[in-house]
Amino acid sequence: MSSDICNFILLGAISAATNALLLVALGFLIRSLILHLLSKNIESYKKILEKELESFKIQLQHDKDREIEMLRKDLEMNAFEHETRFSKLHDRRAIIIAEFYAKLIDAYYSAGEFLNPFGYEGQPPKEKLGEKTYNQIREMDHYFNLNRLYFDEALCGKIGDVIKGIYDPTIKFILALREEKETGGEHRATSEWTISLKEYQEKVPGIKSLIEDEFRKILGVKSS
């Protein structure tokens, strides 16, 4: 009886040990299978990530190139617009300079003729010359004030000086002639004539020359 019990116990122990070994083996196999599957999944996922990363790099480079190209085109367009505006501004300034200079020369020579004590045969009366010169000065001054924004302050100052340099002696002599005509004060007109002519000759030519130099710089004309 005791022998049978011992055998039964032994068989049970063997069976339990066998089952335990089978469970260990099965666990090892399952673990190995899971690790194998995980390894395959990791490799597969790694390849997917690498592929997506490469695609992202390509897209990023493409976007960067596109942005650079758009920026380059914008810069070229801005440069073209700036150049066009500058060119139009320069052309406009050239026209204004030419028109103003023509008015300056007309007033300059008319004033010189009006203030010159030596006349010529067929010369209009001094009153007519004075009226002509006065109107030319006013026209020149009006044109300058309409377009003074095209010149810097320093040049505006010189232009103002030359206009004043022509206007002051001209108006003084006009008033002296008018006084002479109204009162018979011939000495007053002759005296003012001399003073006005001297003032004109001392101030105007030098300022006119400075303005001409500035105009040449703006127009890109080289002085000799």
Q: What is the pLDDT of residues 37-55, one digit of tens each?
A: 666 666 676 677 677 667 7
pLDDT of residue 60: 64
- Between 11-25, 105-119, 143-157, the lowest mean confidence (pLDDT) is in 11-25
pLDDT of residue 16: 64
Residue type, 138: R
119 contact partners, CB below 8 Å, separation of at least 6: none
The pLDDT confidence band at residue 120, using thresholds 50, 70 and 90, is: confident
Compare 159 and 62 and report the one with higher pLDDT. Answer: 159
Report pTM: 0.62
- Say if residue 200 is exposed, middle or buried (CB neighbours under 10 Å; 0-12, 13-18, 19+): buried
pLDDT at 107 over 70: yes
- Assess contact for 165 and 203: CB atoms under 8 A: yes
> Nearest to residue 64, comparing CAs of 56, 54, 52, 53?
56
- Say if residue 113 is exposed, middle or buried (CB neighbours under 10 Å; 0-12, 13-18, 19+): middle
Compare 191 and 25 and report the one with higher pLDDT. Answer: 191
pLDDT at 224 over 60: no
pLDDT digits (tens, 9 = 90+) for 53-104: 677 667 767 766 676 666 566 555 655 454 555 678 788 989 999 999 999 9
pLDDT at 204 over 70: yes
pLDDT of residue 193: 78
- Long-range contact list for 134-140, CB < 8 A, 24+ apart? 134/170, 134/171, 134/174, 136/103, 136/106, 136/107, 136/110, 137/107, 137/111, 137/163, 137/166, 137/167, 137/170, 139/103, 139/107, 140/100, 140/103, 140/104, 140/106, 140/107
pLDDT of residue 215: 92
What whole-number percentage of the chain has pLDDT above 90? 35
Average the pLDDT over 175-185 and give the result.
77
